[in-house]
Amino acid sequence: MRTVFGTAVLGISMMLGAGALMGQSASSPAPAQSAKARQLARGRYLATIGACNDCHSPKLEGLTPDPKRAFSGRPQTTMAPSENPKEIHASLDLTAWAGPWGVSYGANLTPDPETGLKKRYTEASFIKTLRTGKKPEGEDLLPPMPWILYKVMPDADLKALYAYLQTIPAINNNVKNAAPPAPAPAKR
Ligand code: HEC
């Protein structure tokens, strides 16, 4: 009986040991940095599938984001599209938009201290903006920024997204402020 019990305990501890080893090799060889690395990988993934590049990155050809200027916002060379109060118009690189709300430009999301997210955002205000659709100064976050879709992200995902955006290269690019709709032509 004693031997059977002993063997069973040994068997279980061997299984546990094997499980622990397998667990270790399946995740990361350096567990100390893995929590941060996992968070950044998650943030990168969310920024990718969240399509932030579509509106926040200059493009190479067609709609391929330029990796050298990733997330740096509407480039100076992109002109505002034409306005028609009944339609939404976009520039060919999708960084400048016009609609019933006026003209809006994809913001610089890089950690540049003068022109990027870092200037006005902290992790907490980033989360608040994506949840409430209000910029830190209290202004509305204009379309087509789809915050209404992003607000369902749990805190951990929004934190991961913010953390990832802090690690990308800072690019100095002052994006034009949004403008209200052009006044309707005067009636005679
Ligand atoms: C369909 C286009 C579009 C997509 C996709 C998009 N954005 Fe935006 N975003 C915009 C526009 C346009 C603005 C500027 C709005 C304004 O001026 O009020 C903006 C503004 C922002 C702002 C506020 C910047 C500021 O200066 O206060 C943040 C933060 C932001 N976007 C983050 C993101 C993140 C993160 C993603 C991806 C998860 C994303 N956006 C995806 C179009 C988009």
Q: Output DSSP code: residue 173.
A: -
Residue 30 lies in a domain: no
Q: What is the pLDDT of residues 1-15, one digit of tens each?
A: 444 444 444 444 444
Q: Whole domain around residue 62: which residue ranges?
A: 35-167
Number of domains observed in the structure of the chain: 1
Which of 45, 55, 71 should be mutated for ligand 1, with most atoms under 8 A from CB? 55
Domain membership of residue 151 (yes or no) is: yes
pTM, rounded to two decimals: 0.84
Residue 2 lies in a domain: no
Backbone phi and psi for residue 83, each to the nearest 5 degrees, phi listed first: -105, 135
List pLDDT tens digits, range 96-153. 999 999 999 999 999 999 999 988 999 999 999 999 999 999 999 999 999 999 999 9
Q: Is residue 24 one of the residues assigned to a domain?
A: no
Going from the Cα of 184 to the center of ligand 1, the distance in angstroms, rounded, reads 27
Helix axes 123-132, 155-167, angle to 10 degrees: 120
Residue 147 included in any domain? yes
DSSP string, 136-153: TTS-B--TT--HHHHTTS
What's the pLDDT at 28?
55
Confidence of residue 33 (pLDDT cuts 50, 70, 90): confident
Domain-located, residue 5: no
In a domain, 153, yes or no: yes
Question: Residue 148: inside a domain, yes or no?
Answer: yes
Q: Which residues line ligand 1 (CB under 6 A)?
A: 47, 50-52, 54-56, 97, 104-107, 109, 129, 135, 141-142, 144-146, 150, 161, 178
